[in-house]
Chains A and B, each alone.
Chain A
Amino acid sequence: MKRRLNLFIISLMALLVHSCQEEYFVDLKDVETALVVEGYISDKGGIQSIRLSYASKFQSVESPVYAYGANVILHVSDGTTWEFHPGWAGYYNLPADFLAEPGKTYTLEIQLTGFDGEPRVYQSIPQAMPSPVNIDDAYAEFSEELFFFYSTETDYVYQRYVPGTNAMVTASNTDGSPVRFRFESEMYLQYVIRYDGVIPSYDYCWIRRDVTDFAGSDINLFPNQQNSPTRIAFIPSIPFYMGHLGFPRYPYDGVRVIINRMFTLNEQGYKFHKDKNEQLGDNGQFFDPIASQVKGNIKCISHPDELVLGFFEVSSEITRPYLVNANEYYNILEVDLLDLNFDLIPRAGCKLDTLPDFWLP
């Protein structure tokens, strides 16, 4: 009897404490899809493109639907217009001779027939291209970062803090205006594999990876402060922990280079990326917090009440390589580009007993 009572009470507690959670489906039949614009124009040159697609209903398992058949035009403040040419998978490309310039204002216009057969005209808020910020300093800082690991043996995902080096830069504007930029960093690793034989041989190898998993893509945090430090990358100090990112587990001692692309943003662009980062950092909570909503800069001129998602970004870009001293993880040294074009480095490869052209000493 006592045991029964015990079980009874335990069951009650389990009911109480273990509040239940189950998937919830919301009726979205009245929700209409929206055009999504992914537009990034920079002054770097090369092929500039935007992508048009349609949003999917939440909890939908459908693949993205791309928008084809659109007329996409770029209006420049100097009075010129440029027409995009359709590509694959919703991409529209500017002519190769297009080159954006800081100080000019760009307006994107999209003409597209909607699902209801009616023509629609979409237009971005005019976007001024800012001048690039000045990179004033680069240095290293010790830090730790939370990493996720996956064990194939146990099929178990676990997390752990990993020590390493923060690559920091400081930036400013000559005129003292707010410093706003976003950046993308990649890590480039070159290493040598030695084969011991009668005649030793060497593999000269390299590999390039996004470093997004360890803070390789972000915005600067304090736009009102000139020369405030911004972390552009985190370099784990233990080679093993980079294995899951595609870096070789062994041997690892080699040269690390961070290639940092910095996009100077106008105020709207900065706000968009900040909101976007906030939403990406959210993961829902029990107490139902107010969600992070991201607002774009595209309007539907012909149907003003229609929702349009996405953003048309106009930014000036600078690319800088930073050499990471392989033997001292706590120091980072800025290096010149020398005569190396880092864009031409293949993403990965090895050359037996042959030094590639881009090989760093």
Chain B
Amino acid sequence: MLKKSYLPLLLLFSLLLPQAVKAESTSFSGNQPEGLQITELTRQLEQKHQTRIFYLEEWFAGKRFDPQIADLPLPQALSRIIGELRLEVMVHDGMIFIMPSEAPQQQLSAPGDVAIIGNPNEFGRYSRATITGKITDGSTGEPLFGAVLFDPESGIGASAGLNGRFRMELPVGEKRLRISYVGYEDRIQPIRLVSDGSIDLELFISSTQLQEVTIMAKRAEENVLRTQMSMISLDAKSIQELPGTFGERDIVRSITLLPGIQTVGEFGTGFNVRGGSADQNLILVENVPLFNSSHLFGLISVVNPDLVNNVTLIKAGTPAKFGERASSVMDIRLGNGLSTETASVTGGLGVLNSRILLQTPIIKEKASLEFGARTLYSDWFLGRIPSKDLMNSAAGFHDLTGVINFAIGTKNRFTIFGYRSFDRFSFGGESDYEYANTMASFRWNSFFGPRLSSTFMAGISNYDYQVKEVPPQQEFRHLQMNSDIRYKTIKWQLTFQPSHNHKIETGLHAIEYGISPGRLVPLTEETVIKPKTQADERGLELAAFFSDDISITEKISAELGLRYSHFLQLGPAKVNLYQQDMPMTPDHIADSVFYGRNEVVSQYGGLEPRIGLRFTTGETSSVKLSFSRINQYINLITNTSVMAPTDVWKLSDTYLKPLKSDQYALGYFRNFSENRIETSLEVYYKQLHNVIEYKSGAEIALNDYLETDIINAKGYNYGLELYVKKNTGRLTGWTSYTYSASMRRSDSPYPENQINNNTYFPSNYDRPHNFVLNTNYNISRRWRFGATFTYNTGRPVTLPELTYWQGGNMMVQFSDRNKYRLPDYHRLDLSISLGENLRTDRRGKGSWTFSVMNVYGRKNPYSVFYKKDSGTFHSDTSFKLYQVYIIGQALPTITYNFRF
């Protein structure tokens, strides 16, 4: 009679297994001739624990076990039995099943792991079997057309097709497959071929020919061996393990948990990389830039995480093919490409929003479609909150994303991408904010052979916002203000790989900018405010680039690049001329010059050298150096510490010089425990020229003399970043510590244009200490626990210090710019997830995530501002300082994700 009391063991096993495995490494006695065979050991266990244990004897062929294992508690005994083998234990209906692990097909495990292909239960049934699968770039997820698999034992080989897929028939048994591709590290993959099956393989770019033993060390060493430093790369699997925001994976907000990347708080668009402002980050979605990356003023990013295939963020040593923004490049690639084999629908239902994703092949391996949508349904909730203001408020967003991939022949592949997001927020029925991103791109990859390929890309990205003032029963005040930016781009790139450790890229890039800074429109005939339209801005940015990524010696590799960019400000435009030797104020306008359409108003250009070097210092360690110069010709004009959706983009012009950033970085990278643990230490120094600062009380909106409120300042940022990441095992995650500084200085002889008397002061993004601990613990195959703790030094703020009377008015004297800091920021988020049912016969599957943000209810100030009570009726003028916090209490959320 079988007892059902073993059911709870499933959980027990899960909890004990890590410790048991650890213990096994010192006491396991397999292969001892005097030990027990598996059949005897399991018989003893069955008798002792009144259960049945099912397994295949060949999995334990030749192994002998310590007899004392039979005396251990059953969970520990089983964990000792399975040891290092790729086996798992399941309990069902009181019986114990030992079975092959259902680990992911990509065989990215520790050295010596053997990938079992086929059904182990069919062992010995076939003499030959067919292997199918896909070979991709492990960093980008791009399929590697022409990659070769080779079995030295049989002499049989195969090459991957356009979509990276391959098919190869081999005799069954143990094999050591060699996978190679020009410009990528070769890889040896041990397999045990049992029957027909599939395996997906990843290769990584490297400039060094390594010994075979090192090549086997696979993906984890990529961080050490690639020349590129200060790079964060997340594939689809890693993204799924990112901490959630409101129960949903959030690419942009998760990125801010990585070293050197910060955000101003729960609210606020964008993120800050190594002391740079948010507009210094180039966020590319399928090759076109995203101008506002946040829904709801920053609570959730606009990128639908379900569609993201991989994300790469580069903080230093930016390759020459990228430019435009001074601090970082975030390259987001969407979709699975042509690898989508069957139609599927996935989605999620959250407290705040819902999302759905459709993936389907159109023509198998020739064309595929992926379409995702998300929406926020808060209006219904707001209407039921017992607050007059909130009942009359509305908050909502939606975003739609579509990707079509198709191939023509074997040498041409196309990607069409479209995106639209829309946000709306109104408060109390008096004001209404709306903003939208629209993006589209077309990409054409041509393969001229295994060594030469080209990419042509054309795209657009538009961002527009409008603010409506519509106070009830006051139609004479109804007005609307809007602004938009229009971005068009064409890029062509040629890639030549003369050998596997040498890669040359060159190309041309053209961008056309159009900006409507502001339009003020009366909404009714009674509106007393006059309409006003600021003149449009137009500009053209042209660039050519060349880079050579080469292994100089076995231990030294270099990526040398050069980019030349040139910016033209185009008419029509009116340029105010100011009196010489006088501060630039509206009072000192001497004359104005008008430029006609397409006349060049001003132009800037310059070479942007990019240098990356890597010195291998050991099998799992390296030192990297980089230098990069980037010119930025477009800036977000904001007089607030945080990027707001209503800020105005502005092109470089006669007075606003291009931002120039020179960054030097040095890093030491080392992996431990057979690459299970990655560590890095990076230091950087960034010199900034023409960084935008603002005069006290600067006016941004509809300012015809904006240049008089802007100061071209200097600055520098420096920092140290420590990073430790555990990639595998039940406990995964990372911890990081960053020390950084970000300083600015005005440089003007005129007091009007000086900040803090031309002395260095901390920028808005100077937050010296940053600590992050992000962990995931797989309690069992379905249950997972996550915890994220963040700590940041409070950001600098300028606060009022004194009040005084002047001419009958109470005035405020503020401190020096950014003299004070907000209180330190820290927050703990916890989550627990119940994964999908593991039964393969279920068509629809679901998972639950329950999370609590800000577990201990820390009131982290988001901003501090003062309010003036003019005392018209009840009291004298007085001032009060207020702090605002976004999430001041523990905030639980629950999300249901489904797939069918």
Partner of A12, one of B697, B800, B867, B891: B891
Chain A binding surface SS class: mixed
Structural contact, A59 and B881, CB atoms closer than 8 A = yes
CA–CA, A27 to B864, complex, Å? 14
B798 interface residue per 8 A CB criterion? yes
Query: Does A18 reach chain B (CB closer than 8 Å)?
Result: yes
A279 to B866, CA, bound (A): 12
B636 within 8 A of A: no
Interface string of B797-819 (1 = CB under 8 A from A): 11111111111010111110100
- Tell me if B806 and A15 are in contact (CB < 8 A): no
Choose one: B587, B820, B863; the contact of A287 (CB below 8 Å).
B863
Judge whether A290 and B862 touch: CB under 8 Å: no
- Which residues of the partner chain A approach B889 to less than 8 Å between Cβ atoms? 15
Q: Provided the pairs A24-B864, A289-B639 are in contact, do residues A56 and B812 lie with their beta carbons within 8 angstroms?
A: no
Central interface residue in A40, A282, A284, by most chain B CB within 10 Å:
A284
Contact A224 B589, CB 8 Å, known A13-B381, A311-B806:
yes
Tell me the smallest distance from the CB of A241 to a CB of chain B, in Å. 14
Residue of B with least CB distance to A34: B802
Stretch at the interface among A73-81, A270-278, A335-343: A270-278
Interface contact B807-A279, CB-CB below 8 Å: no
Contact of B804 among A26, A53, A143, A275 (CB under 8 A): A53
Q: Which of B385, B588, B866 contacts A13 (CB 8 A)?
A: B385
Instruction: Verify if A198 is at the interface (C-beta below 8 Å from B).
Output: no
**Interface flag for A324 (CB, 8 Å):** no
Q: Which residue of the partner chain B has the closest CB to A14?
A: B385
CB of A328 within 8 Å of the partner chain: no
Q: Do A23 and B880 touch across chains, with their CB atoms under 8 A apart?
A: yes
Report yes or no: A224 in contact with B813, Cβ–Cβ below 8 A. Answer: no
| Residues in A whose Cβ lies below 8 Å from that of B587 | 178, 180, 223-224, 267, 270-271
Q: Let me know if A21 and B882 touch, CB within 8 A.
A: yes
Q: Name the distance in Å between A245's Cβ and chain B's nearest Cβ.
A: 11
With a CB–CB cut-off of 8 A, which chain A residues contact B884?
A: 19-21, 286
Instruction: Name the interface residues of B381-411: CB closer than 8 Å to any CB of A.
Output: 381-382, 384-385, 387, 390, 393, 395
Do residues B799 and A36 form an inter-chain contact, with CB atoms below 8 A? Answer: no
Q: Cβ of B886 < 8 Å from any Cβ of A?
A: yes
- A60 near B864: Cβ-Cβ < 8 Å: no
Contact partner, A288, options B387, B809, B863, B867, Cβ 8 Å: B863
Residues from chain B with Cβ under 8 Å of A57 in the complex: 801-803
**Residue of A with least CB distance to B643:** A287
Q: B476 interface residue, CB < 8 Å from A? A: yes
Give, as a whole number of angstroms, the nearest-CB distance from B800 to chain A.
Answer: 4
Q: Does B844 contact A (CB under 8 A)?
A: no
Quick check: is B447 within 8 A (CB to CB) of the other chain? Answer: no
With an 8 A cutoff between CB atoms, is A320 at the interface? no
A279:B697 contact, CB within 8 angstroms: yes
Would you list which residues of chain A between 248 and 301 have a CB under 8 Å from chain B?
A: 267, 270-271, 275-276, 278-280, 282-295
Contact of A144 with B881 in the complex, beta carbons under 8 Å: no
Asked if A97 lies at the interface with its beta carbon under 8 angstroms from chain B, I say no
Interface hits, B652-706 → A, CB 8 Å: 694-698
Nearest 10 A/B pairs, CB to CB: A292-B697, A284-B865, A293-B696, A24-B883, A55-B804, A288-B863, A55-B802, A287-B640, A13-B381, A36-B804
25 inter-chain pairs at a CB distance below 8 angstroms, sorted by A residue, are A14-B390, A17-B395, A18-B385, A20-B888, A22-B882, A23-B880, A24-B861, A31-B815, A54-B804, A55-B804, A55-B813, A56-B803, A224-B586, A224-B589, A282-B868, A283-B867, A284-B866, A286-B865, A290-B639, A291-B800, A292-B697, A293-B813, A294-B811, A309-B804, A309-B813
Using CB atoms and an 8 Å cutoff, list the residues of chain A in contact with chain B.
Answer: 6, 9-10, 12-26, 28, 31, 33-34, 36, 38, 40, 53-60, 64, 143-144, 148, 150, 157, 160-161, 178, 180, 222-224, 267, 270-271, 275-276, 278-280, 282-295, 307, 309-311
Chain B residues proximal to chain A, CB less than 8 Å: 267, 299, 351-352, 378, 381-382, 384-385, 387, 390, 393, 395, 474, 476-477, 528, 585-589, 639-642, 644, 694-698, 751-752, 797-807, 809, 811-815, 817, 820, 859, 861-868, 872-873, 879-889, 891-893
